[in-house]
Amino acid sequence: MLVPAPPTAAVISSASPTVLQARKVRHILIRLHYLPLIPEDYLGAHGHIHKTYQWRFKIPRALQALAASDSWQDPWNPLVLGALYQFEAVHNLPIVPGGMGIRGLPLNIEKALLHAKKTDPDPWTWILVTKFPRPEEIHLFMGGRGWIFQSKANTGVMHATPDGTWPVYARDTHTAMVGRFPIPVPHAQIRLYEAAKSAGYALHSVHYSRYHHHWVQYQHYDDPDIRWVNYFDRGRAVHFYPRANYGFPQSAGCVELPKSAAHKVYGLIHYGTPVTVSHAAIGPWDPPGSKYLKQPLNIKPIHLAYREIAAKSTALSVHLQLVETSASDANH
């Protein structure tokens, strides 16, 4: 099935006048818990206010590295874009980005954001797909609970599943997929074919292509029964596909799972869940089901106040943190 995919990359100047609009969108998503962050401001040496964000729950090292690799001010940040997609899904809106990530949103989505009061009904989730060490695996992280699921998985042959992070933008319990699968061809076969053609032999026309530095022939496929599908990068998706074994590259670019694993993952994640594909993610791993918090975070009305963090303040700068307070504290 051909799924229209939102753009996945862009370079945006931080001097663009639309940054304020993106900041407002980001803060609405944070306030409603679609983006599980707490804003933190601090005063720099030259009197400038600098902004950082803290997570609402403990996160593993691999997610720390991912969060540090993209600026929160980037309108194409996949974690922020994922929060927008989840907001759109919850409010029955089209799952689309703006003209530039979270900038330039359609008017109906901007209006929904400005008037929204409904918090995210689902826990925040993140998928990490690791290629090495073998076997290839999928790991599912849930905010406040830690690693809750893992399974063997298959990525694409000849690097057909690139490394990177993308939010889930389309989902389907049952669909058909049509495309072309790259079949590797030995270089010696190419040379033999070209030599025979040059010598004047009558040969059937054969078309060879280059694909990720490999010679290939493409084989068309039409699979009508693909289940538990979560599209994240154009036509690439996390889904069930029947294989004799799992744990090594076999697909045309998707992340393939056994049936029971695909069904479970589909039920645990939602629109906007970021999917990270990593050649070798940062460890060490916490075991699936590890408890980061004794109790789940309760969603309550948020009251915010600035407090100085003395340990981080100096004679040249005051470090202020935007913290949540109780309703009684907010009235004093």
Active site residues: 239, 254
Measured in whole angstroms, the distance separating CA 251 from the mean position of its chain's CA atoms is: 20
CA nearest neighbour of 141 among 34, 53, 262, 57? 57
Burial of 257 (0-12, 13-18, 19+ CB in 10 A): buried
Instruction: Tabulate helix, strand, coil % of the chain (nearest 5).
Output: 25, 30, 45
d(CA 194, CA 113): 60
Rounded Cα distance, 147 and 288, in Å: 4
Element of type H or E holding 307? strand 303-308
User: How far is 285 from 283, CA to CA, in rounded Å?
Assistant: 5
In angstroms, the Cα distances linking 217 to 1, 249, 317 are 22, 18, 62
Q: Find the Cα–Cα–Cα–Cα dihedral 102, 105, 108, 114, rounded to 10°.
A: 50
Count of other CB atoms within 10 angstroms of residue 325: 14
Identify the three-state secondary structure at position 39: strand
Q: Report how far apart, in Å, the C-alpha atoms of 267 and of each of 148, 220, 283 are.
A: 13, 31, 26
